[in-house]
Amino acid sequence: MEAFFVLTKFYQLPKVEVIDDLKIILAFTGVINDDKFQLIETLNLVLYKNIDFVDALLCVKSKVYGLDLFSFDDRLNKRCL
């Protein structure tokens, strides 16, 4: 999510605060997104396992679709478990 990057990198807001606020926004009934659950799970991985957003999204997508995640980053492979 572009919003996560802009808020944490450009505006240097605390990651925990940004994640909490993005989860609240995603929970609104007016926000329509087929991947809400996946985005919330991605934000949880970013928060609790200290993984970059894109890597966390890859972890979640691979689990949802039952695919193996291949990465040259051994730490990512371990964190996705």
d(CA 65, CA 48): 22
Task: Band the pLDDT of 80: cuts 50, 70, 90.
Answer: confident
> What is the number of other CB atoms lying within 10 angstroms of the CB of residue 39?
20
DSSP state letter for 9: I
4-35 pLDDT, tens per residue?
Answer: 999 999 999 999 999 999 999 999 999 999 99
d(CA 14, CA 11): 9
- Give pLDDT, residue 79: 81
39-77 pLDDT, tens per residue?
Answer: 999 999 999 998 999 999 999 999 999 999 888 888 888
DSSP state letter for 29: T
pTM reported for the whole predicted model: 0.89
Q: Give the torsion through C-alpha atoms of 2, 46, 79, 77, to 10 deg.
A: 0
- H-run or E-run covering 64: helix 53-64
